Structures are given as structure tokens and as C-alpha cells.
Amino acid sequence: MIGGSAVAGLGLGIALILSHVLFISGIMMVIFHQQKRIKIVYCFLTVIGCVGIILVLWYYLIDGVDQKIDVIIPSERYPRNLTHDPSVNGNYSFTFLTYGSGFDHRSEYGTKASIITPTIDLSSIITLSSFNRRAFKYNESALPLNGRIWHPINASNQTGPYPVVILLHGNHASTESSELGYEYLGTMLASQGFIAVSIDENFLNVAPTFSSIGYGKISTIRKYVLNFRNGPELMARAIMILETLKQLRLWNAEPNNRFYNQIDLSNVGLMGHSRAGEAIVIAQVFNKLKFLTDYPGGVSFTDYEFGIKALFSIGGTDDGYMPLGHSLISEDVTMFGIHGIYDGDLSSFFFQAKLRYLRFTSNSSQYNFKASVYVHQANHGQFNRDWGRFDLIPGASRFMNVRHY
């Protein structure tokens, strides 16, 4: 941010009003006042007002300013023995497809879907907004499993099975296809020998009318939690991750499916952006449960227990979902969080709390770690290539420093 959004906005607003008052009143007094000395004084005030208006508008309209941060890193902390840059494309050939319900109004998940998937019933947990029901032609009793997959193509020296990375978008306008914004990650991962799956959950996002997800049949869960605004939605996002993995398991076992024996579900990573950064943590916890702890008689979990080894959060939220009123405790998984210093959506690195509540036990047979990175000049939205440079609504977004986005 240039100056702390709310405070900066209030200050600039006051400055602009005072400048207008000086400018307009100065002109009026110069025109109608008879005394020369008074006219000179008001001419001076008019100039001050005019300069003030120009400066405020200039400050509002520019992209931002340069901000240099000097960081001294001890030599012993530099990475060693890196044989290649993990951020560049690898040597695997890869291709792309979409899967979906087959009757979605978006053709890539409807008539052009390569694999048809069933719908799932989440009516126990959520109710969709009326706008999203009309726009997507779905309801909470029959939600689609839609998504995009980038996967390696088998070659003589490159054969599966391949580990899986799930890519999940966060909350954004439901009328925009947020899952498309991670193609750059999907192609990079596929080229390195991963099956990358970007899940469509746009029907869970906020509608243009600002109506959002409501409680389903488990509305009594609210008695446990006071700040449970996004809880049902986050649970739904998490369950859809696990239901997607269940579909991958089915494909992997079908001899006639292109993914037959190609998917390694013992090595699964989850990437979540924004609100999905919290949903992936919930999914990892649900993956080990047999029922929803808040409502054990109403929601059961079957056939999960996937090998989720790593969680990667980008600008993740925290405590939208608190089981039985308590912060979520995770165990024995690698967890990494990244957050932009210029994040204009979240006011702080909230995901650090998820790292704090991660426990490593003696029961784990694998090496795990937890870490976080705070990135200078990174904002919230541009980790998704389609969300744009500005994290806030038009107008307020002009108070953000986006000079180097």
C-alpha cells in the first residue's frame, strides 16, 4: 500500500476537499471583491488550492513509488547443491484436457469435456447463493466436479505413475473463471513430471450481487463458533478437493481410462490461493477423518486417506473454519506459506497461524518441514494470472503501490 489504504484515503479525501474549497472560494472572491489587496490574497489562496488539487490527483493516479529494502543474508543461508532451477520448465512432454459434468453451460466442462464426472451433494453443509444457482444451473445437492488437467505424455524414458498437485483458486467474482489463472503453474508442473489439476469452484465464489454461500442443513453448527462467516464455504472447498482425488483414484483403476496406472495418489500436493490457502489445510485434516467432527451424525467421509504430503498456501486466510470453536490443528505434513508485502486484500500474513498450529509427531515415517516467505513487491491477486493488478475494488485500488507489479 502507498500509505495504509483507509488512513491514506481519508487524508487524501480531506486534502482534496480543502483544496477545492480554497480554489473555488478564491476564484469567487477575486471576481466579486473590490479591494485590490484582498484580491491578491485570494489569488494566492486560489493558486494553493489549484496546486493541492493537482498534487492529490497526481498521487491518486500514479502507479506508486519505488521502495527499496536492503536485506543482508548470511552466506551460510544461501542454498547449496541446487542442480537446476525448480521454477523453469522441465523435460517432460505434456498435454492438457478438461473434465466436467457434461451438461455445464461452459463448453469445456459440458459438451467438450474429455472425461465426464458425477455431481456431489453438499446440501448438508452449504446453500448456494440464488445468483450462482441461476448462473451455473446447479444447486448444492448436485455440484459438479469440473477442472483442467495438465499431465505428462508417456515416452520411452518417461513413464508413470506421476505425483499429483491440486491447484485451487480462492474467492473472486463467481462470473470469472478463476481456475484458468494457474495455467502457468500447471504447464510448469506437468513439464517436470507432475499431474497438475486446477479445480473449478467458481460457483462457490461471491456473486456480483455480493451474495455468498449460506449454511446447509448443519446450521446448528453455529452454536460452537462466533466468527463462522466462511466456515461452510471452506468446508465445501475442502471436500471438493478430496472428491476430486477420489475421481482420480477411479480413473487410475480403470483399464480403459487414459490415466490407468498413471496417477500416484501416495504423493499428493495441494496448492491453495487466498481463501483456498486455508481450504487445503482443512482438506488435509478431513482426509484423515471418518466424519465431520462438528456434525458427526450428518456428514461422513468415506474412501479418502490419500497420501497428501505437502501444502502450499499463497496469501492464505486463517480461521474461517474453527471446528468446535477451536483453531485447526494439523499434523505430519510439509507446509509452506508465501505472502506478498503489498497484499491489498489481506492486512497481514494470516497463514502464519496455520504454521503455528502444525505439529510433527513421532508417528510420522517421513521428513516434513514448515516454512514461510514474505515477498517484497508481491500483491495478492497476481499469483492468479487472471485476477489483475489491483486487489481492491475500483477507486480504493488506486491507493495501492503497484509500480512494479
The pLDDT score that the predictor gives to residue 260 is 92
pLDDT in tens, 36-95: 778 788 888 888 888 888 887 777 666 666 666 666 667 666 666 666 777 788 889 999
The pLDDT score that the predictor gives to residue 326 is 76
The pLDDT score that the predictor gives to residue 147 is 97
Which is it for strands 143-144 and 119-120: parallel, antiparallel or unpaired? Answer: antiparallel
Positive or negative, the CA dihedral 252, 253, 254, 260 is positive
- The grid cell for 197 is 489439476
Average pLDDT by consecutive 10-residue portion of the chain (405 residues)?
50 78 84 79 86 78 64 66 74 93 93 95 88 90 95 73 96 89 95 95 86 73 54 90 96 94 95 94 92 73 91 88 80 93 81 90 85 86 82 57 58
The pLDDT score that the predictor gives to residue 3 is 39
In angstroms, the CA 42 to CA 51 distance is 14
CA dihedral 168, 172, 176, 180 (to 10 degrees): -30
Does the predicted TM-score (pTM) go above 0.75?
Answer: yes
pLDDT in tens, 193-220: 999 999 999 999 888 877 777 778 776 6
The pLDDT score that the predictor gives to residue 111 is 93
Whether the upstream peptide bond of residue 161 has omega within 30° of 0, thus cis, is yes
The pLDDT score that the predictor gives to residue 27 is 86
The pLDDT score that the predictor gives to residue 270 is 98
What are the helix (H) ranges across 74-199? 130-136, 183-191
Instruction: Give the residue from 145, 151, 164 showing the smallest Cα distance to 310.
Output: 164
The pLDDT score that the predictor gives to residue 225 is 52
Beta-bridge partners for 314? 273, 338
